[in-house]
């Protein structure tokens, strides 16, 4: 018998208990920076140095934190299910917890890319990107992050995956940033959907089979995973 498919949509909330702050709980400032100044093409043109510094700080911080029980529990689902994690997070905590199939909708902190097309992408690990660091064609490197106002190249892949889900788990996202928030609309009406978040996010549209688990990621996710592994 073929294995059932679980699609997970995760957001900043799943990494909060690892010590990475969320965006919308931060009161307009994200680790002391104006989000739109450091995560937009306009901000990059205005002050690339501050943008690079911001992401260099985030990368160093990522080096010092660990996956939590929620990331770890989701990785365990692979023993019984085909699992695809669609994450809005630019951290690498899902992969470090052992998940093997991850779509990073908004890019990855541990990658840099060129600023002229075609955009070459480079693995940089936890190293800084500085002004003057160039791609092989001589363009300044920038973080490989999807900023506000930029296209989300992996959205089509994510939507296709969502449409094939037998079970959807949404964890730690306010569901306010599109197109990612619209992924739930690609999931079949019959698919069982779980939303784990201590503050119920507003879900647009009418959805059947939707269950809210009003808990933090580390308390809400492991029991759900246990239930799914036992079913
Ligand atoms: N466990 C689970 N959820 C939590 C926790 C926790 N411990 N703490 C907070 N949350 C929830 C909040 O209630 C909120 O619903 O996590 C969500 C975080 O929402 P956002 O900060 O808006 O993060 P996210 O939905 O991932 O943002 C989407 O916006 O800024 C852009 O590109 C950035 O990928 C990001 C996108």
pLDDT, tens digit, 9 for 90 and up, residues 129-187: 999 999 999 999 999 999 999 999 999 999 999 999 999 999 999 999 889 999 999 99
In angstroms, the CA 207 to CA 192 distance is: 10
Lookup: tokens for 37: 């100044």
What residues does each domain of the chain span? 1-20+67-106+151-231, 21-64+111-145
pLDDT at 128 over 60: yes
**9, 13, 145, best to mutate for ligand 1 pocket (most atoms within 8 Å of CB):** 13
Q: How far away, in angstroms, is 119 Cα from ligand 1 center?
A: 28
pLDDT at 50: 96
Class of domain 1-20+67-106+151-231: alpha beta
Average pLDDT for 196-215: 89
Pick the CATH number of 21-64+111-145 from 2.40.110.10, 1.20.1440.60, 3.30.1600.10, 3.60.20.30: 3.30.1600.10
pLDDT at 41: 96
pLDDT at 24 over 80: no
Average pLDDT for 18-32: 77
Average pLDDT for 108-128: 96
pLDDT at 28 over 60: no
Active-site annotation, residues: 106
Q: How far is CA 39 from CA 33, 79, 135, 217, in A?
A: 10, 37, 21, 25
pLDDT at 63 over 70: yes
pLDDT at 206: 73
Exposed / middle / buried, residue 88 (Cβ in 10 Å: 0-12, 13-18, 19+)? buried
- 3-class secondary structure, 37: helix
Sequence length of the chain is 231
């Amino acid at each position: 018998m073929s294995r059932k498919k679980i699609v997970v949509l995760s957001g900043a909330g799943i990494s909060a208990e690892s010590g990475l702050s969320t965006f919308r709980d931060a009161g307009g400032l994200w680790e002391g920076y104006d989000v739109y100044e450091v995560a937009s093409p306009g901000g990059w043109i205005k002050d690339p140095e501050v943008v690079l510094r911001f992401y260099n700080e985030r990368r160093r911080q990522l080096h010092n934190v660990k996956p939590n029980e929620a990331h770890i529990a989701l990785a365990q689902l692979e023993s019984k299910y085909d699992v695809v994690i669609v994450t809005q997070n630019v951290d690498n905590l899902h992969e470090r917890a052992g998940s093997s199939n991850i779509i990073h909708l908004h890019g990855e902190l541990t990658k840099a890319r060129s600023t002229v097309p075609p955009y070459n992408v480079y693995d940089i690990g936890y190293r800084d990107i500085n002004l003057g660091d160039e791609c092989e064609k001589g363009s300044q490197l920038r973080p490989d992050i999807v900023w506000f106002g930029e296209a989300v190249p992996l959205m089509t892949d994510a939507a296709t995956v969502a449409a094939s889900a037998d079970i959807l788990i949404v964890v730690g996202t306010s569901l306010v940033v599109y197109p990612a928030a619209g992924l739930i609309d690609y999931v079949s009406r019959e698919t069982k959907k779980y939303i784990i978040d201590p503050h119920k996010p507003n879900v647009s549209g009418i959805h059947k089979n939707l269950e809210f688990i009003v808990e933090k990621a580390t308390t809400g996710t492991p029991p759900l995973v246990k239930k799914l592994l036992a079913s």
